[in-house]
Amino acid sequence: MDRDEVLARLDALIRADAEAVETILDHIRQRDGGVGLMYRVLSRRPEVLVPRALEGVQIYDRPRAVDPKTAELAAVAAAAALRCEPCLDAHLRAAHRKGATSDELLDVLLVAGAIAESSTWAVAFRQLRRMEGQTQGEE
């Protein structure tokens, strides 16, 4: 069986399995008390939702080299630095469920904020140096 045929068969299995989508959405409802926008929209495309949900389980719940709480703390930091409020809300709750304390969450948020601020400054200061270099030659 060639690659395209394998992908077509897998795609057909996912598209045909509305039960998989409902199982995923029910799990999210029970775990989080509701289904966020990302999963609600993706539920229209089972071929995207199912692999995305499975990927999320592997990344956040079954990471290989760190424990699940640490994986969620990393997600909290990334969500904070990227200013994704829905992501931050979901990952703060998940980290708490996985044993993160309020002090641990605060430390992670402080680190993420410092990195986000440094990143902003690095980009801005580089632009300032470029502009200064250009204007110094014009004076």
Residue 92 or residue 7, greater confidence: 92
pLDDT of residue 9: 76
Residue that is written with structure tokens 């399995």 in the block: 17
Task: Choose the weakest-confidence range: 20-24, 28-32, 120-124, 133-137.
Answer: 133-137
pLDDT of residue 27: 87
User: Which is nearest to 46 in space by CA: 27, 62, 24, 28?
Assistant: 24
User: Which is nearest to 49 in space by CA: 81, 88, 14?
Assistant: 14
pLDDT of residue 138: 55
Between the CA of residue 44 and those of 1, 8, 37, 74, 132, what are the distances in Å?
29, 19, 12, 29, 51
Give the span between the Cα atoms of 91 and 83, in whole angstroms: 13
| Residue 36 CB neighbour total at 10 angstroms | 14
Residue that is written with structure tokens 């990344």 in the block: 59
pTM greater than the 0.85 cutoff: no
pLDDT in tens, 42-78: 999 988 998 899 898 899 999 999 999 999 999 999 9
Out of 1.20.1290.10, 3.90.420.10, 1.10.357.10, 1.10.4080.10, which CATH number does the structure's domain 65-139 have?
1.20.1290.10
Ordered by start, the domain boundaries in the chain are 1-62, 65-139
Q: What is the DSSP letter of 45?
A: -
Confidence of residue 18 (pLDDT cuts 50, 70, 90): confident
pLDDT of residue 70: 97
Give the span between the Cα atoms of 59 and 54, in whole angstroms: 9
| Residues 24 and 57: beta-carbon distance below 8 Å | no
pLDDT in tens, 87-137: 999 999 999 999 999 999 999 999 999 999 999 999 999 999 999 998 665
